[in-house]
Amino acid sequence: MQLTGYNIELRDIHIYAHHGVMPQEREVGAWFTIDIVLNINNFTCAENDNIEGTVSYADVYEIICKEMKEPSNLLEHVCKRISDSMYQAFAQVQGIEITLCKDTPPMGGDRLKAAVTIKSVR
Protein backbone atom coordinates (compact mmCIF):
# COMPACT_ATOMS: atom_id res chain seq x y z
CA MET A 1 0.00 0.00 0.00
CA GLN A 2 1.24 3.47 -0.84
CA LEU A 3 -0.02 6.34 1.29
CA THR A 4 -0.75 9.52 -0.66
CA GLY A 5 -1.85 11.82 2.13
CA TYR A 6 -4.11 12.06 5.12
CA ASN A 7 -6.27 14.67 6.76
CA ILE A 8 -6.53 15.89 10.30
CA GLU A 9 -9.99 17.31 10.90
CA LEU A 10 -11.65 19.23 13.70
CA ARG A 11 -15.41 19.65 13.33
CA ASP A 12 -18.06 21.76 15.05
CA ILE A 13 -15.75 23.98 17.08
CA HIS A 14 -18.05 26.54 18.75
CA ILE A 15 -16.49 29.85 19.76
CA TYR A 16 -18.02 33.15 20.84
CA ALA A 17 -16.27 36.00 19.02
CA HIS A 18 -16.68 39.58 17.78
CA HIS A 19 -16.48 39.51 13.98
CA GLY A 20 -18.65 41.50 11.61
CA VAL A 21 -18.96 44.65 9.58
CA MET A 22 -21.67 46.25 11.69
CA PRO A 23 -20.61 47.92 14.97
CA GLN A 24 -23.27 45.93 16.84
CA GLU A 25 -21.65 42.65 15.72
CA ARG A 26 -18.24 43.77 16.91
CA GLU A 27 -19.59 45.01 20.24
CA VAL A 28 -22.07 42.26 21.18
CA GLY A 29 -20.45 39.29 19.43
CA ALA A 30 -21.98 36.05 18.25
CA TRP A 31 -21.47 32.30 18.17
CA PHE A 32 -19.37 30.87 15.36
CA THR A 33 -18.81 27.29 14.22
CA ILE A 34 -15.55 26.23 12.60
CA ASP A 35 -14.62 23.12 10.63
CA ILE A 36 -11.01 22.69 9.57
CA VAL A 37 -9.26 20.06 7.46
CA LEU A 38 -5.46 19.95 7.36
CA ASN A 39 -3.88 17.88 4.59
CA ILE A 40 -0.64 16.24 5.72
CA ASN A 41 1.91 14.45 3.55
CA ASN A 42 4.30 13.14 6.23
CA PHE A 43 3.55 9.49 7.09
CA THR A 44 6.10 8.96 9.85
CA CYS A 45 3.39 8.85 12.52
CA ALA A 46 1.39 6.22 10.61
CA GLU A 47 4.47 4.04 10.39
CA ASN A 48 5.86 4.41 13.92
CA ASP A 49 2.73 5.23 15.98
CA ASN A 50 4.37 8.36 17.38
CA ILE A 51 2.91 11.87 17.51
CA GLU A 52 6.13 13.35 16.16
CA GLY A 53 5.69 14.08 12.47
CA THR A 54 1.99 14.79 12.72
CA VAL A 55 -0.09 17.68 14.05
CA SER A 56 -1.67 17.75 17.50
CA TYR A 57 -5.42 18.41 17.58
CA ALA A 58 -4.88 20.43 20.74
CA ASP A 59 -2.37 22.71 19.02
CA VAL A 60 -4.75 23.26 16.09
CA TYR A 61 -7.55 24.15 18.51
CA GLU A 62 -5.29 26.57 20.40
CA ILE A 63 -4.36 28.43 17.20
CA ILE A 64 -8.02 28.70 16.17
CA CYS A 65 -8.99 30.10 19.57
CA LYS A 66 -6.18 32.65 19.43
CA GLU A 67 -7.13 33.89 15.97
CA MET A 68 -10.85 34.01 16.80
CA LYS A 69 -10.13 36.40 19.70
CA GLU A 70 -8.93 39.10 17.28
CA PRO A 71 -12.01 40.87 15.80
CA SER A 72 -12.27 41.18 12.02
CA ASN A 73 -14.84 42.68 9.69
CA LEU A 74 -14.92 39.70 7.35
CA LEU A 75 -15.05 35.95 7.91
CA GLU A 76 -12.72 35.58 4.92
CA HIS A 77 -10.07 37.55 6.80
CA VAL A 78 -10.41 35.36 9.88
CA CYS A 79 -10.04 32.21 7.75
CA LYS A 80 -6.94 33.62 6.08
CA ARG A 81 -5.36 34.45 9.44
CA ILE A 82 -6.10 30.94 10.74
CA SER A 83 -4.60 29.38 7.60
CA ASP A 84 -1.48 31.55 7.79
CA SER A 85 -0.98 30.57 11.43
CA MET A 86 -1.40 26.87 10.65
CA TYR A 87 1.16 26.98 7.84
CA GLN A 88 3.56 28.89 10.09
CA ALA A 89 3.16 26.44 12.97
CA PHE A 90 3.19 23.15 11.04
CA ALA A 91 5.64 22.57 8.18
CA GLN A 92 3.98 19.26 7.36
CA VAL A 93 0.63 20.89 6.48
CA GLN A 94 0.31 21.00 2.69
CA GLY A 95 -3.29 22.15 2.32
CA ILE A 96 -6.11 23.58 4.41
CA GLU A 97 -9.86 23.90 4.09
CA ILE A 98 -11.67 26.05 6.65
CA THR A 99 -15.37 26.71 6.95
CA LEU A 100 -16.29 29.52 9.34
CA CYS A 101 -19.99 29.91 10.04
CA LYS A 102 -21.68 32.79 11.84
CA ASP A 103 -24.45 30.90 13.61
CA THR A 104 -26.88 33.82 13.98
CA PRO A 105 -26.10 36.63 11.54
CA PRO A 106 -28.12 39.82 12.12
CA MET A 107 -30.47 39.39 9.18
CA GLY A 108 -33.71 38.55 10.96
CA GLY A 109 -34.07 34.97 9.77
CA ASP A 110 -34.92 32.04 11.99
CA ARG A 111 -32.20 29.39 11.90
CA LEU A 112 -30.22 31.43 9.38
CA LYS A 113 -26.48 30.83 9.15
CA ALA A 114 -23.83 32.53 7.04
CA ALA A 115 -20.59 30.76 6.20
CA VAL A 116 -17.37 31.18 4.27
CA THR A 117 -15.13 28.34 3.13
CA ILE A 118 -11.60 28.91 1.96
CA LYS A 119 -9.17 26.37 0.55
CA SER A 120 -5.43 26.85 0.25
CA VAL A 121 -2.27 24.93 -0.53
CA ARG A 122 1.31 25.58 0.47
- With beta carbons less than 8 A apart as the criterion, state whether 18 and 88 touch: no
Residue numbers of the chain with a pLDDT score lower than 70: 1, 106-111
Determine the 3-state secondary structure of 117 from DSSP.
strand
pTM of the model: 0.89
Q: What is the pLDDT of residues 16-28, one digit of tens each?
A: 999 998 888 888 8
Which positions are annotated as active-site residues?
A: 102
Domain range list for the chain: 6-121
pLDDT value, residue 24: 83
Interatomic CA distance for residues 102 and 13, integer angstroms: 12
Q: Quick one: CATH architecture of 6-121?
A: 2-Layer Sandwich (3.30)
Q: Is the dihedral of CA 86, 61, 10, 34 positive or negative?
A: negative
Q: What is the pLDDT of residues 44-58, one digit of tens each?
A: 777 788 777 789 999
